[in-house]
């Protein structure tokens, strides 16, 4: 009986739909078993009978060795098997083997001459060497998944202790990616669960729930991390394929129930809380999981059910800075003198100060972090404000809001017959997370709402003993929304968002109001088919996959309320700008206007592959594969995209050209891209001392592709004139003032929308609105390429007996066509940019006066990586049962843009090039460039009874287990920026980040740490820019803020000012400096005991200790030269997932102890 169409029908369907071809790694639900059978003289034995028995379900499969003595089993369900080999004239051999998910494992056997019937039994752990191909992979088994302490029980955390993995522990910024493997971006991994694509394609990350976690640990049997899959079936991402396989029912009923609890009483205090004399915040975390599985029809039908979830109260600790009463009084007096006491500005400023003053705990103020800190950022008045009187007050505040997430899944396995088996699984998940809790007023809080449904059917069919195929059909619906909790109340309290990022003085006001409501409904279905055929010494593989994804996106409201950002405290004091110094003391407003309706966007992906694994000799396997992939450009059937008439540097910049000739509306595609991506691959596995020995030399080379983040589509369906964004400068910041930034933005938008519809030019629009501010626009190069990585590896794997294996390998890659986001494509008046805007007719080079910020997307960055990895895995028994695995990596990753180009990996750098006209000048250490890293995991069933020489009550001395993880690495790199200068240059359409210019030749220095903390800073990571008396520090490493005259050049301080001294020219270089090193170890202890009357069940109770030594891991120093705390460290690093969720603002850096209670049967 067959549940699927034939391969030919499926391929015919693909050809009928499209002639192009990518996506899924099609062995994401199964494993394989292969080996060579020899006699005592090492001669191969053809026609030996080989039988495997699935211990869990009782089914068997059989085959025969070929003329080269090779046997193969395809598409096996991972798990424990009994392998039996017989041949006339030889003893029967039996082996207990464990088939892992992913690349086939190797079990070679030597049959002894028949004398008497014997059975050879080997411990049923995973085979220790992989000799079938050169794929680079690691498998985490059930013991590691279920017993190693996992903060939050997050599935991505399972990857953190695999070889070559570097954990992303930086929590200081809007970063993407929980880890990097072998120098690849954090967005370069393809996740599957039982073959279902688990990636959300906007950012190429794993789909997470409302708490930033990937739930499902309790339902997972094992996980395989294929960091380089030379086999043709692996694709969809260049960094690796991370495949999870769920548990299934078996011949016996089985299940578990787990409960985890953590509260304030079990937690240590944060290092900075202790330093400031602040008590531990209140927190509580409840997590649960339960499963039940077994037979429905003996030997035929099995079921498995799982549910898990968590409820949290996440403590978020804020260091809040609000204006001092003296600054408020002085500002109100100044506003009233300029605008009048009955003015809109007076009312607006009083509302600002009322909100700040009403902040809970606002009366418990401190003078500042340091005694000399007045919080004025260079601002001063003759009355002593800024010199002896502080401008700000500061205090700590802790907030906690409830959050929740829950998952339920069910799976049914069906053995249809000797040649067919199938399984189906359905999963649902929903949760609500407190992603933004405002420190000033709870009315500005925002939530993250997520729901996910998915299901699949997988069917495997064998054609005799030499061929098999596997078919998958799946679908999913993933909805997520960021939204202000009470938008009407929030806007009534404050109509916009006010932030002081440039001044680093006061906390922001308005919270997440800028986001409004942002949501996407992502629906997907996928099909795939794989076929393998063994013939002679060859194993041929063929496969195809198809995937279609739809987005439905409501109208975008990001920045609809606007964000106002004073560049200096004086600009705020003056009501928006200081007429005496308008080029420095001004406020910027970023505001959007949209006429957009709901947007439907579709994405279509295909792949085809063929490969041959050839046993050239009994001890040598050569694999040759060719994969063809196709990623469609985003498609909008309603023509919702807008784009420039060509790449920005190729279109006319003549201001006399009408807007509607420069921008094309009603486009179905935002850009063009590569049609077919060819990925040839070759690998080998050689056992130089013969198949009876445990040495394998493996390697390979191949081409791999990272799909462009489909989030790029958003930049074109929220493009002018559909969605207009304006950056307005040089006016009053009060929305309802007689003239204001907001009125300028509204008038500019009305003039632009009407002018565009009428085919008007810039001059015609300016004749209607003399204060017209041009809109922003997004554009791309003529053809967007898909990032390509050429990867290679050589590895020696050596087993010592049946329980220990080591490996050492060299791994490298070269990346091309990597994404570059240039938000300054229309900049002028600085560095390598044109001197000014174009006139009509234009005389190049010149900027286009019809537009303000122009963001251009291109794919011309490169990267390189070289690394060496040493791994050891040891299974042991006798002195208790257990396993230990540790990995050391030495690596060097270099690039021009890190982490896929859209978002950074850490907060120490910038994805935007400083000088987009000199991209090669940004070539330097990648954000995940870690020179030395170490990780390990272990599980050990303690031999307590043996330690007492067999004495003691069994319930007391049996059932003890410890487990844990260890992480250590050198520091991540960072760059020093002059954000103040970058902010000033926004007037010149520059929106990247300028590197601070060194005052002299400086080296990279050493990694800093505890002594650079912001509390005392006895040894900051960088010397301060100013002395305590406020004068420039002659020993500073960098020139003063805003003193750059061009990229990598500027002026030193002089007698008449901070920028009046000699000119200097030194290149800092990207990511030249190093942050602190990182060390952490987690530990768990469990005690299990049997339950009287229920002998198959055990009850366990124990504790999990996260950061068991309470080691303070200090983060990056403040890397903005204009910040008064430049070079000092204000926060601690922590894992990306935790028992309080992932990246939700909870402080999980100190030691946290979690109670764990478990029933297993």
Contact 323/359 with Cβ under 8 angstroms?
Answer: no
Q: What is the pLDDT of residue 17?
A: 33
Alpha helices in 650-701 (DSSP H): 659-662
Q: What is the pLDDT of residue 517?
A: 86
Q: 9 Cβ partners below 8 Å, 6+ apart?
A: none
Per-residue DSSP letters for 209-244? -TTS----GGGEEEEEEEEE--STT--S-SSEEEEE
CA distance 1106 to 264: 14
**b/e per residue 543-577 (b: at least 16 CB within 10 A):** bbbbbbbebebebbbbbbbbbbbbbbbbbbbbbbb
**b/e per residue 61-95 (b: at least 16 CB within 10 A):** bebebbebbbbbbbbbbbbebbbbbebeebbbbbb
Q: What is the pLDDT of residue 18?
A: 34
- Compute CA distances 311 → 147, 213, 260, 453, whole Å: 22, 13, 11, 20
Give tens-digit pLDDT for 712-757: 999 999 999 999 999 999 999 999 999 999 999 999 999 999 999 9
Strand partners, 973: 1074
Q: What is the 3-state secondary structure (H, E, C) of 354-379?
A: HHHHCCCCCCCCECCCCCCCCCCCCC
CA distance 213 to 636: 31
- Res 120 pLDDT > 80: no
What is the pLDDT confidence band of residue 20, given thresholds at 50, 70 and 90? Answer: very low
CA distance 858 to 863: 15
CA distance 514 to 534: 60
Give tens-digit pLDDT for 512-551: 899 888 999 999 999 999 999 998 889 999 999 999 999 9
Q: Can you tell me the mean pLDDT for 20-28? A: 40
What is the pLDDT confidence band of residue 27, given thresholds at 50, 70 and 90? Answer: low
CA distance 1138 to 1136: 7
CA distance 131 to 685: 5
pTM: 0.91
- Domain locations in the chain as residue ranges: 325-390
Q: What is the 3-state secondary structure (H, E, C) of 710-769?
A: HHHHHHHHCCCCCEEEEEEECCCCCCCCCCCHHHHHHHHHHHHHHHHHCCCCHHHHHHHC
Give tens-digit pLDDT for 361-378: 655 565 556 666 788 888
Write down the residue that tokens 């800073």 correspond to: 1017
Percent of the chain with pLDDT over 70: 95
Strand partners, 475: 455, 525
Phi, psi of 762 (to 5 degrees): -60, -45
CA distance 106 to 127: 7
Give tens-digit pLDDT for 992-1032: 999 999 999 998 766 788 999 998 889 999 999 998 888 99
Report helix, strand or coil for 891: strand
Contact 164/228 with Cβ under 8 angstroms?
Answer: no
CA distance 377 to 623: 63
Q: What is the pLDDT of residue 19?
A: 32
CA distance 270 to 397: 14
**b/e per residue 752-784 (b: at least 16 CB within 10 A):** bbebbeeebbbeebbeebeebbbbbbbbbbeeb
Element (H, E) at 905: none
Sign (positive or negative) of CA dihedral 1126, 1129, 1135, 1141: negative
CA distance 49 to 62: 7
Q: What is the pLDDT of residue 7?
A: 37
CA distance 834 to 826: 9
CA distance 432 to 426: 21
- Res 168 pLDDT > 90: yes
DSSP conformational letter for 348:
H
Q: What is the mean pLDDT of the chain?
A: 92
Q: What is the pLDDT of residue 503?
A: 84
- Compute CA distances 254 → 245, 422, 1160, 1161, whole Å: 18, 21, 8, 5
For residue 416, give both structure tokens. 């249809």
- Res 85 pLDDT > 80: yes
Report helix, strand or coil for 526: strand
Q: Can you tell me the mean pLDDT for 458-476? A: 92
Per-residue DSSP letters for 973-1007? EE--B-HHHHHHGGGGT--S-PBPPBSS-------
**Alpha carbon 517 to its chain's center:** 23
Per-residue DSSP letters for 532-597? EEEETTEEEEEEEEEEEEEEEEPPP-TTSS-EEEESSHHHHHTTS--TTSTTTS-EEEEEEEE---
Q: Can you tell me the mean pLDDT for 575-580? A: 96
Contact 910/897 with Cβ under 8 angstroms?
Answer: no
- Res 426 pLDDT > 60: yes
DSSP conformational letter for 120:
-
Q: What is the pLDDT of residue 1006?
A: 66
Please tell me the number of Cα atoms within 13 Å of 56 on its side-chain side. Answer: 24
CA distance 196 to 526: 8
Contact 1026/372 with Cβ under 8 angstroms?
Answer: no
What is the pLDDT confidence band of residue 314, given thresholds at 50, 70 and 90? Answer: confident
Contact 870/808 with Cβ under 8 angstroms?
Answer: yes
- Compute CA distances 164 → 999, 1113, 1147, whole Å: 38, 21, 27
Give tens-digit pLDDT for 760-797: 999 999 999 999 999 999 999 999 999 999 999 999 99
- Strands 179-181 vs 538-553: parallel, antiparallel or unpaired: unpaired
Contact 853/725 with Cβ under 8 angstroms?
Answer: yes
Q: How many CB atoms lie within 10 A of CB 352?
A: 22
Q: What is the pLDDT of residue 369?
A: 63
Per-residue DSSP letters for 468-491? EEEEEEEEEEEEEEEEESSHHHHH
What is the pLDDT confidence band of residue 124, given thresholds at 50, 70 and 90? Answer: very low
Report helix, strand or coil for 808: strand
CA distance 1069 to 971: 17
Contact 320/394 with Cβ under 8 angstroms?
Answer: yes
Q: What is the pLDDT of residue 528?
A: 96
For residue 715, give both structure tokens. 């930049």
Nearest to 382 by CA among 323, 324, 338, 334: 334
């Amino acid at each position: 009986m067959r549940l699927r169409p034939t391969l030919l029908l499926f391929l015919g369907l693909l050809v009928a739909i499209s002639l192009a071809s990518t996506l899924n790694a099609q062995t994401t639900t199964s494993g394989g078993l292969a080996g060579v059978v020899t006699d005592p003289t090492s001669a191969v034995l053809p026609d030996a009978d080989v039988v495997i028995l699935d211990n869990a379900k009782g089914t068997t499969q059989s085959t025969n060795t070929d003329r080269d003595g090779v046997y193969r089993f395809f598409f096996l369900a991972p798990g424990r098997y009994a392998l039996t080999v017989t041949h006339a004239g030889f003893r029967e051999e039996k082996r207990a083997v464990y088939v892992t998910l992913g690349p086939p494992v190797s079990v070679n056997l030597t049959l002894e001459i028949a004398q008497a019937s014997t059975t050879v039994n080997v411990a049923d752990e995973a085979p220790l060497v992989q000799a079938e191909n050169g794929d680079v992979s690691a498998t985490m088994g059930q013991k590691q998944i279920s017993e190693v302490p996992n903060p939050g029980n997050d599935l991505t955390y399972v990857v953190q202790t695999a070889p070559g993995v570097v954990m992303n522990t930086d929590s200081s910024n809007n970063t993407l990616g929980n880890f990097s493997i072998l120098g690849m971006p954090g967005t370069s991994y393809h996740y599957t669960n039982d073959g279902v694509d688990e990636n959300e394609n906007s950012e190429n990350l794993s789909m997470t729930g409302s708490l930033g976690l990937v739930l499902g640990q309790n339902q997972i049997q094992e996980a395989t991390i294929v960091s380089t899959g030379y086999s043709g079936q692996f694709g969809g991402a260049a960094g690796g394929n991370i495949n999870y396989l769920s548990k299934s029912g078996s011949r016996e009923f089985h299940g578990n129930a787990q409960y985890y609890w953590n509260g304030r009483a079990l937690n240590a205090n944060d290092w900075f809380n202790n330093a400031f004399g602040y008590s531990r915040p209140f927190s509580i975390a409840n997590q649960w999981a339960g499963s039940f599985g077994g037979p429905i029809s003996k030997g035929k039908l099995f079921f498995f059910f799982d549910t898990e979830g968590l409820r949290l109260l996440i403590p978020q600790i804020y260091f809040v800075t609000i204006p001092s009463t003296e600054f408020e009084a002085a500002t109100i007096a100044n506003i009233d003198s300029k605008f009048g006491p009955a003015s809109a500005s007076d009312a607006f400023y009083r509302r600002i100060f009322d909100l700040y003053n009403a902040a809970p705990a606002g009366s418990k103020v401190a003078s500042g972090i340091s005694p000399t800190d007045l919080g004025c950022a260079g601002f001063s008045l003759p009355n002593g404000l800024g010199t002896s009187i502080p401008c700000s007050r500061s205090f700590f505040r802790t907030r906690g809001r409830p959050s929740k997430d829950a998952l339920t899944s069910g799976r049914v396995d069906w053995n249809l017959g000797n040649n067919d088996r199938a399984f189906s699984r359905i999963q649902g998940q929903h949760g609500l997370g407190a992603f933004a809790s405002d420190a000033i007023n709870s009315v500005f809080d925002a939530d993250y709402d997520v729901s996910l449904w998915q299901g699949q059917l997988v069917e495997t069919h064998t054609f005799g003993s030499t061929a098999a195929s596997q078919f998958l059909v799946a679908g999913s619906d993933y909805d997520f929304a960021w939204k202000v909790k009470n938008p009407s109340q929030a806007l009534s309290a404050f109509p916009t968002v006010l932030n002081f990022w440039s001044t680093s003085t006061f906390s922001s006001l308005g919270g997440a109001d800028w986001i409004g409501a942002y949501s996407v409904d992502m629906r997907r279905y996928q099909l795939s088919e794989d076929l393998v055929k063994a013939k002679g010494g060859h194993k041929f593989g063929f496969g195809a996959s198809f995937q279609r994804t739809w987005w439905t996106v409501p109208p975008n409201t990001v920045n609809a309320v606007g964000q106002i950002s004073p560049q200096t405290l004086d600009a705020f004091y003056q009501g928006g700008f200081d007429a005496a110094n308008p080029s420095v003391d001004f406020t910027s407003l970023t505001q959007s206007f949209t006429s957009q309706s709901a947007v439907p966007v579709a994405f279509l992906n295909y792949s085809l592959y063929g490969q041959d694994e050839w046993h050239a000799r009994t001890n040598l396997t050569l694999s040759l594969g060719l994969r063809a992939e196709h990623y469609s450009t985003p498609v909008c059937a309603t023509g919702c995209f807008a784009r420039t008439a060509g790449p920005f540097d190729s279109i006319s910049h003549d201001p006399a050209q009408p807007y509607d000739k420069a921008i094309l509306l009603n486009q179905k595609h935002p850009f063009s891209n590569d049609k077919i991506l060819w990925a040839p691959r070759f690998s080998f596995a050689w056992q130089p001392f013969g198949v009876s020995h445990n040495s394998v030399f493996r390697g390979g080379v191949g081409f791999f592709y990272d799909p462009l983040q489909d989030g790029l589509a958003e930049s074109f369906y929220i493009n002018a004139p559909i969605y207009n964004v304006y950056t307005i400068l040089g006016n009053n910041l009060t929305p309802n003032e007689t003239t204001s930034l907001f009125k300028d933005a509204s008038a500019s938008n009305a003039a632009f929308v009407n002018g565009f519809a009428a085919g008007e030019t810039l001059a015609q629009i300016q004749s209607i609105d003399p204060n017209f501010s041009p809109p922003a626009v997004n554009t791309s190069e003529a053809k967007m390429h898909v990032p390509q990585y050429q990867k290679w590896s050589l590895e020696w794997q050596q087993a010592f007996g049946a329980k220990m294996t080591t490996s050492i390998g060299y791994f490298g890659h070269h990346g091309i066509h990597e994404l570059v986001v240039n938000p300054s494509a229309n900049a002028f008046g600085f560095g390598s940019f044109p001197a000014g805007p174009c006139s009509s007719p234009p005389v190049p080079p010149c900027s286009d006066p019809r537009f303000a910020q122009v963001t251009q997307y291109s794919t011309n960055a490169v990267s390189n990586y070289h690394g060496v990895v040493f791994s050891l895995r040891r299974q042991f028994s006798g002195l208790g049962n257990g396993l230990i695995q540790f990995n050391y990596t030495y690596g060097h990753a270099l690039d021009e843009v890190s982490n896929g180009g859209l978002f950074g990996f850490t907060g120490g750098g910038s994805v935007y090039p400083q000088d987009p006209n000199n991209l090669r000048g940004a070539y330097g250490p990648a954000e995940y460039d870690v020179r030395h890293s170490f990780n390990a995991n272990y599980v050990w069933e303690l031999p307590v009874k043996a330690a007492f020489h067999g004495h003691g009550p069994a319930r007391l001395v049996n059932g003890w287990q410890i487990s844990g993880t260890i992480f250590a690495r050198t520091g991540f790199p960072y760059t020093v920026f002059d954000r103040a200068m970058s902010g000033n240059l926004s007037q010149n359409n520059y929106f990247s980040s300028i590197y601070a210019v060194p005052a002299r030749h400086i080296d990279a220095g050493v990694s800093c740490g505890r002594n650079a903390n912001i509390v005392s800073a006895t040894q900051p990571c960088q010397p301060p820019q100013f002395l305590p008396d406020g004068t420039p520090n002659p020993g500073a490493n960098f020139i003063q803020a805003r003193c750059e005259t061009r990229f990598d050049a500027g002026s030193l301080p002089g007698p008449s000012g901070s920028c009046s001294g000699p000119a200097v020219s030194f290149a800092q270089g990207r990511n030249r400096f190093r942050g602190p090193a990182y060390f952490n170890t987690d530990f768990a202890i469990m005690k299990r005991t049997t339950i009287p009357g229920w002998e198959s069940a055990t009850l366990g109770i124990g504790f999990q200790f996260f950061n068991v030594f309470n080691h303070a891991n200090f983060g990056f120093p403040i890397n903005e030269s204009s910040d008064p705390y430049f070079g000092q460290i204000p926060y601690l690093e922590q894992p990306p997932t935790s028992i309080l969720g992932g990246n939700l603002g909870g402080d999980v850096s100190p030691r946290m102890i979690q109670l764990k209670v478990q029933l297993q049967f």
